[in-house]
Amino acid sequence: MSDEKRYALTFPGTPGTQAPQDVVIVSWTSATGPGGHPVYEDASGIVRAEISDSGEVRMLASGGHQSPHLPVHAEPLPQT
């Protein structure tokens, strides 16, 4: 299990535009994802991701009819 408690997930901007990338901060939850790794979520609970010890990210749907996009980067953040 990873010692990281928070990650910054960076998602690409809108294709075909010069929109900035979106950054979402996710925090550790006590849940485990389908791959057996810890689940992290944002404050709203909408953005959920399973993140392995090696930094691999699997986005998890938090509701029906979602098709979550993969982040381009997952950066561990210092513990507060």
> What is the pLDDT, as a whole number, of residue 17?
81
For residue range 1-18, what is the model confidence (pLDDT) as tens digits? 456 699 999 988 777 788
For residue range 24-77, what is the model confidence (pLDDT) as tens digits? 999 999 999 999 999 999 999 999 999 998 889 999 988 877 777 777 788 999
The pair phi, psi for residue 11, each rounded to 5°, is -110, 150
Q: Which two tokens stand for residue 2?
A: 């990873």
CB 8 within 8 A of CB 23: yes
pTM score: 0.82
Average pLDDT over residues 16-24: 85
